[in-house]
Amino acid sequence: MSNAKWEYKIVDHSNSTSMGYTNPETEEFKENHKDKDWKLEMMNLEINKLGQDGWEMVAANNSSEIYLKRKIED
């Protein structure tokens, strides 16, 4: 039996501000990704950043709230 300890996080990806982007940054991102779904691209980048920090996605709610966990090192 594992005694692993976890921390949890809920991330809101409903808009660019909730992902940490300012309005000018969002407009620049939109311009740079105008041939794609810019919001999906932005969300994927942010999820990958969280993954690099050790967060694992465990669930998503209505495509705006993402539930993550990360093992706590003793």
For the stretch 37-56, pLDDT in tens is 988 898 889 889 999 999 99
- pTM, rounded to two decimals: 0.76
Q: How many domains does the chain have?
A: 1
Q: Quote the domain boundaries for residue 48.
A: 5-72
Nearest to 43 by CA among 9, 13, 17: 13
Instruction: List Cα–Cα distances, 48 to 1, 44, 67, in angstroms.
Output: 30, 6, 14
Identify the top-confidence range among 12-21, 26-35, 54-63.
26-35
CA angle 68, 10, 26 (to 5 degrees): 105
